[in-house]
């Protein structure tokens, strides 16, 4: 091969391997398009993984409730008995509180200092892994901030709202898991089914606490199943409007559990009967 031919071959190879400006812009555009597709997909995958972990936490708590009930004549775990009409850290109210502190100023002292409440009743013996009380999609820092409060003078909260003896018909107030009864509201009979759900409080400041950005809600039912529901319409939330009249918060929480009970049977929570509000 002549030197001229060799030079021509080397020159041709160099030209073939070079990028023109147009080709470079096309490659950059393709990379940008791929990134715009992949980032939402990765975000969705991460959100789905957190949703799955949350469901696993609820299943573990559901199993712990079942074991507790089996060892306590079918009674649900619950906090102390209520001491007066303004005692809300007690067995009659659904709550995500797991530890009752001493009641620090400026508030009144707690009538039940240094006691477990709600799901906290399971913490030492039945579900002793603290992480199961906290959803990975909790928008607060509950795991880091609340867990150290247990066994101190400060209250401690988890990610999940537990029913305790709330929204039970009077004849089922003993709270036996196999005899939770039915609520009859607006002539509609709704069996009590939901035990635990993702906390979804849309209030201002410290009253804003959601899992999964309040877009989805996991609910544990008494048969140990866990189902995920859309919460785009806030059927499982204490809505922002509710906080305009704080007296309505507990009424709204009762309605949220009724909506969950209604959904357990395949019903649309939007069509659930509505409690009469008497603040």
Q: pLDDT per residue over 257-277, tens digit each?
A: 999 999 998 999 999 999 988
Q: What's the confidence (pLDDT) of residue 6?
A: 43
Among candidate residues 196, 232, 239, the one with its CA nearest the CA of residue 214: 232
Mean pLDDT of 191-210: 96
Greatest alpha-carbon pair distance for the chain in Å reads 106
Report residue 57: phi and psi, to 5°.
-60, -45
Cα R_g (the chain), whole angstroms? 27
First to last CA, the chain: 100
pLDDT digits (tens, 9 = 90+) for 225-260: 999 999 999 999 999 999 999 989 999 999 999 999
DSSP state of 195: E
Q: What's the confidence (pLDDT) of residue 11?
A: 40
Residue 2 — pLDDT band, cuts 50, 70, 90? very low
Take residue 154 and report the two structure tokens written for it: 């400060």
pLDDT digits (tens, 9 = 90+) for 26-73: 888 888 887 777 777 676 788 899 999 999 999 999 999 999 999 999
Among candidate residues 155, 133, 166, 117, the one with its CA nearest the CA of residue 57: 133
- Domain boundaries along the sequence of the chain: 43-268
Q: What's the confidence (pLDDT) of residue 141?
A: 77
Take residue 25 and report the two structure tokens written for it: 């812009």
DSSP state of 34: H
Mean pLDDT of 171-179: 96
Q: What's the confidence (pLDDT) of residue 114?
A: 96
pTM: 0.85
Residue 9 — pLDDT band, cuts 50, 70, 90? very low
How far does Cα 84 stand from its chain's mean position? Answer: 29
Report residue 140: phi and psi, to 5°.
-105, 180
Residue 184 — pLDDT band, cuts 50, 70, 90? very high
Q: Is 218 exposed, middle or buried (0-12, 13-18, 19+ CB in 10 A)?
A: buried
């Amino acid at each position: 091969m002549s030197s001229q031919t060799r030079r021509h071959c080397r020159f041709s190879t160099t030209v073939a391997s070079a990028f023109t400006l147009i080709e470079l812009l096309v490659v950059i555009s393709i990379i940008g398009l791929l990134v715009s597709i992949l980032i939402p997909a990765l975000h969705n995958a991460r959100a789905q993984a957190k949703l799955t972990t949350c469901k696993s936490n609820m299943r573990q708590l559901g199993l712990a409730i079942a074991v507790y009930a089996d060892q306590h004549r079918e009674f649900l775990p619950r906090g102390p008995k209520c001491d007066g009409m303004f005692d809300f850290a007690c067995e009659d109210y659904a709550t995500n509180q797991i530890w009752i502190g001493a009641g620090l100023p400026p508030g009144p002292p707690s009538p039940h200092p240094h006691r477990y409440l709600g799901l906290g009743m399971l913490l030492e013996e039945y579900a002793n892994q603290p992480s199961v009380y906290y959803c990975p999609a909790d928008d607060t820092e509950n795991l880091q901030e609340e867990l150290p409060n247990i066994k101190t003078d400060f209250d401690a909260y988890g990610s999940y709202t537990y029913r305790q003896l709330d929204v039970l018909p009077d004849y089922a107030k003993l709270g036996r898991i196999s005899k939770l009864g039915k609520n009859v509201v607006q002539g509609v009979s709704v069996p009590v089914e939901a035990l635990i759900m993702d906390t979804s409080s849309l209030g201002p400041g410290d009253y804003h606490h959601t899992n999964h950005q309040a877009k989805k809600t996991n609910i544990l039912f008494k048969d140990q199943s866990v189902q995920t529901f859309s919460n785009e319409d806030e059927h499982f939330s204490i809505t922002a409007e509710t906080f305009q009249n704080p007296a309505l918060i507990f009424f709204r929480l009762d309605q949220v559990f009724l909506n969950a009970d209604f959904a357990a049977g395949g019903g649309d929570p939007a069509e659930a009967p509505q409690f009469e509000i008497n603040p």
